[in-house]
């Protein structure tokens, strides 16, 4: 059997991605139909940059969700005779199947690996961003609102982490030796507590006048929170639902640790600005508590810049995860995440360029999409 | 002004102390020390032998004492072996005289266990190599970024602006390991591509040529450029809406004169800060690019030190990195005041 031509490969990839096109079509037509009622999201379609960003991000998100339908081969399966084979090479022994983007140095299908890698990247990066934001918000609001000693201490600590070269911190924090000392678990124990604190305070400050409602919400938060907490941080979930590989936990914690000081600084800056507004003074006159003002007056009004930074930060964390993979510190040696694949491919770059190029382009387009989306959102939110 | 500098210097020293202690703590965790013992001694050492090895080299002392040794405020560790030979932190091969204190305060950065050499001399040699890389990156990146930013910002919303802004976003979305790989395939691959440049910069350590140095410089400049360009654009766009620009335009000054003589100088204040703060960010890029192109500079050294848990070397590397961060911050603050007379520091 002969290898596929460039046109056939393009058609092949296009047909494999049909589930994505269908889902994209449905989502986009619904959004376009209701765009007047969708607020900021609907306005996004007014700018070309925002639309392009949204399309790219949507494409990769749907690819991650539908990855099982798209892949042509098992991303971990090695088929003999397919080592480093070029793009569109027919699979030996099986009639009519091809390695659309060729095989890697362990004879695995690159196309399927890139598609599956998308799922890995798009699970870790947004989750890490959410955690970094929760830590940053929980600490940044009081630092900005109360100022004083608390602010001085927290700002010094965040500047300390920010003065640390990211790459050095990763080399020190993400190693098998560190894992055996339990440092990642201690870090996780500290960092993962912040979401629980945030939600408890959120409900307490809002509903403390309605004790029944407050008690229910706080109880749900505590039960769910500590259930997940025990599983994620200490791997001691009694039901075994929440679980994180030690390796993954290590990376996750390092990434959250590096990013939360930046979020802290942004939130603190926004709070310093917003607390001088009239509606904050009005709330103070009404006799609202400080946490109510921070979480229900200041935070909702700071959402614009925070949403923009959220998009940018997912992109930045994707780059960071790729950097980790590039230095062989990735999720696991078998994992198809893009950084690792680029790292493996670069060693044979001058002979077999097809190994590293697909994941490199994939990573670039995802981050580009997120950055364009952030730019579109910024543009639209400034208009209001 | 002087009080400000003194305060900032004090803050810098405090930060540097905290950070080096953190590095010290992380590199001196028990598993890291065991790894060090096994790579330095032999891989087959038993647990008892590992303990002895660590004991005889002073690694078993309390952490603070050892950090003090490294700083040069507590006396260096001395150990007399059974055969009467003296070992210790301050013992240098070929020097009989044993100093009591030998730490950073005595200008002794320690001994590299991987390279079997003085840390100070290794670091300075590698920093020199990286210095060349940084010099060329700056020479390419800064003018390009400023030109793109000024061109985009002088007519906000125009087609040039939109195209250049999208290009700037594209470069910030392309980390070094992506652009490096793509550039190598396009310009250096032996299978496909143009074969203009070399995919390895090892020879650039002796002699820098266009063939061996273009790709690493291009790769690094590409990623850093976008951010500076966008900041320049924002600053330029803001200046162009200022009253005095409108006045100049109403006076009948030509557009090129407005941009070059009236707007440019004010528009370049903000990018100066951004460029200074960008320098520490280039460190990650240096590490990636030097690994990718096999250029043995500071970034490569950092990787070697970290992967071998070479404590003294890693501490020296982190000190260099931390001081680069803090000094660029200081310069950017002071420079901002000099460039912008409207701001005065109390």
Of A163, A323, A353, the CB nearest to B288: A323
Contact across the interface for A364 and B283, Cβ inside 8 Å: no
**With contact defined as beta carbons under 8 Å apart, do B156 and A317 qualify?**
no
The Cα B218–Cα A375 span in angstroms is: 25
Query: pTM of whole model > 0.80?
Result: yes
Q: How many CA atoms lie within 13 A of A110 on its CB side?
A: 30
Tell me, rounded to whole angstroms, the distance of Cα B237 from its chain centroid: 31
Those of residues 335-374 in A touching chain B at CB distance below 8 A are 339, 342-343, 345-346, 349-353, 356-357, 360-361, 363-364, 367-368, 370-372
What is chain B's length?
346
Contact across the interface for B15 and A160, Cβ inside 8 Å: yes
Contact across the interface for B185 and A372, Cβ inside 8 Å: no
A167 touches B: beta carbon within 8 Å? yes
The Cα A298–Cα A121 span in angstroms is: 32
Contact across the interface for B181 and A315, Cβ inside 8 Å: no
Name all contacts of A228-234 with Cβ < 8 Å and 24+ positions apart: A229/A192, A229/A193, A229/A196, A232/A188, A232/A192, A233/A185, A233/A188, A233/A189, A233/A192, A234/A185, A234/A189
Name all contacts of B304-307 with Cβ < 8 Å and 24+ positions apart: B304/B114, B304/B115, B305/B112, B305/B114, B306/A168, B306/A171, B306/A172, B307/A171
**With contact defined as beta carbons under 8 Å apart, do B226 and B179 qualify?**
no
pLDDT at B345: 53
SS (H, E, C) B245-302: HHHHHHHCCCHHHHHHHHHHHHHCHHHHHHHHHHHHHHHHHHHHHHHHCCCCCHHHHH
Contact across the interface for A165 and B283, Cβ inside 8 Å: yes
Residue B68 in tokens: 């003090």
pLDDT at B344: 59
Mean pLDDT in order along chain B per 10 residues (346 residues): 82 87 88 82 79 80 84 76 69 63 77 82 90 92 92 88 91 91 84 76 79 89 91 90 90 88 84 82 88 90 86 87 84 78 60
Q: Which residues contact B137 (CB under 8 A, 6 or more apart)?
A: B217, B220, B221, B224, B282
A11 touches B: beta carbon within 8 Å? no
Contact across the interface for A350 and B317, Cβ inside 8 Å: no
pLDDT at A316: 92
Contact across the interface for A172 and B280, Cβ inside 8 Å: no
Q: Across-strand partners of A83?
A: none
Closest approach of chain A CAs to the CA of B76, in angstroms? 25
Q: Which residues of A touch B29 (CB under 8 A)?
A: 177-178, 181, 183
Closest approach of chain B CAs to the CA of A39, in angstroms? 23
Closest approach of chain B CAs to the CA of A85, in angstroms? 13
Contact across the interface for A349 and B30, Cβ inside 8 Å: no
Nearest CA in chain B to A161: B19
pLDDT at B175: 92
**With contact defined as beta carbons under 8 Å apart, do A48 and B165 qualify?**
no
Residue B278 in tokens: 């960008």
pLDDT at A342: 86
Extract the residue ranges of chain A whose pLDDT is less than 70: 1-2, 93-96, 384
């Amino acid at each position: 059997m002969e290898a596929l031509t460039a046109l056939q490969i393009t058609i092949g990839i296009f047909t494999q991605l049909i589930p994505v096109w269908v889902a994209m079509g449905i989502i986009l037509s619904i959004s376009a139909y209701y765009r007047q009622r969708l607020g900021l999201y609907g306005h996004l379609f007014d700018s070309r940059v925002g639309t392009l960003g949204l399309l790219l991000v949507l494409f990769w998100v749907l690819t991650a969700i539908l990855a099982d339908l798209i892949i042509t081969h098992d991303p971990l399966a090695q088929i003999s005779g397919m080592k480093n084979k070029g793009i569109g090479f027919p699979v030996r022994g099986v009639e009519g199947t091809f390695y659309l983007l060729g095989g890697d140095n362990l004879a695995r299908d690159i196309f399927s690996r890139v598609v599956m890698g998308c799922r890995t990247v798009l699970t870790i990066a947004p989750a890490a961003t959410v955690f970094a934001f929760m830590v940053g918000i929980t600490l940044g609001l009081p630092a900005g609102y109360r100022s004083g000693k608390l602010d001085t201490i927290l700002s010094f600590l965040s500047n300390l982490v920010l003065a640390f070269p990211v790459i050095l911190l990763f080399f020190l924090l993400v190693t098998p030796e560190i894992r055996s000392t339990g440092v990642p678990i201690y870090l996780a124990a500290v960092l993962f507590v912040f979401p629980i604190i945030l939600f408890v305070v959120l409900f307490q400050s809002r509903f403390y006048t309605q004790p029944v409602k407050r008690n229910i919400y706080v109880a749900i938060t505590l039960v769910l929170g500590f259930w997940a907490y025990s599983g994620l941080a200490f791997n001691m979930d009694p039901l075994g639902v929440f679980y994180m590989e030690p390796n993954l936990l290590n990376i996750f914690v390092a990434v959250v640790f590096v990013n939360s000081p930046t979020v802290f600084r942004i939130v603190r800056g926004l709070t310093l600005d917003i607390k001088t507004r009239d509606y904050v003074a009005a709330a103070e006159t009404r006799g609202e508590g400080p946490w109510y003002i921070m979480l229900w007056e200041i935070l909702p009004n700071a959402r614009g810049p925070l949403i923009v930074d959220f998009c940018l930060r997912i992109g930045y964390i994707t780059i960071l995860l790729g950097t980790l993979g590039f230095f062989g510190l990735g999720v696991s040696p078998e994992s198809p995440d893009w950084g690792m694949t680029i790292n493996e491919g670069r060693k044979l770059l001058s002979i077999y360029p097809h190994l590293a190029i697909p994941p490199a382009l994939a990573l670039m387009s995802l981050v580009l999409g997120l950055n364009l989306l952030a730019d579109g959102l910024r543009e639209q939110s400034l208009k209001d | 002004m002087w009080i400000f500098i003194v305060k900032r210097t004090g803050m810098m020293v405090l930060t540097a102390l905290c950070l080096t202690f953190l590095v010290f703590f992380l590199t001196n965790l028990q598993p890291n020390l065991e790894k060090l013992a096994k790579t330095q001694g032999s891989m087959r050492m038993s647990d008892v032998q590992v303990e002895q090895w660590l004991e005889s080299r002073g690694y078993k002392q309390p952490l603070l004492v050892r950090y003090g040794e490294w700083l040069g405020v507590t006396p260096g560790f001395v150990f007399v072996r059974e055969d009467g030979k003296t070992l210790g932190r301050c013992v240098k091969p070929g020097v009989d005289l044993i100093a009591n204190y030998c730490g950073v305060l005595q200008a002794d950065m320690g001994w590299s266990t991987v390279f079997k050499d003085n840390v100070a001399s290794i670091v300075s040699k590698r920093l020199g190599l990286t210095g060349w890389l940084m010099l060329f990156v700056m020479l390419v990146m800064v003018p390009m970024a400023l030109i793109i930013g000024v061109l985009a910002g002088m007519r906000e919303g125009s087609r040039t602006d939109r195209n250049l802004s999208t290009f700037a976003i594209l470069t910030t979305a392309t980390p070094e390991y992506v652009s490096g790989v793509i550039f190598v395939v396009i310009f250096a691959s032996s299978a496909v591509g143009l074969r203009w440049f070399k995919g390895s910069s090892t020879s650039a350590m002796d002699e820098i040529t266009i063939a061996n140095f273009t790709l690493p410089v291009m790769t690094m400049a590409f990623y850093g450029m976008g951010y500076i360009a966008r900041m320049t654009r924002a600053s330029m766009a803001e200046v162009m809406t200022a009253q005095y620009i409108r006045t100049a335009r109403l006076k009948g000054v030509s557009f090129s004169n407005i941009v070059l003589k009236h707007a440019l100088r004010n528009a370049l204040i903000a990018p100066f800060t951004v460029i200074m703060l960008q320098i520490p960010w280039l460190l990650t890029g240096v590490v990636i690019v030097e690994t990718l192109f096999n250029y043995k500079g500071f970034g490569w050294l950092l990787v070697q030190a970290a992967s071998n848990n070479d404590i003294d070397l890693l501490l020296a590397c982190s000190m260099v990195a931390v001081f680069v961060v803090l000094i660029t911050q200081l310069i950017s603050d002071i420079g901002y005041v000099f460039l912008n007379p409207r701001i005065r520091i109390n």
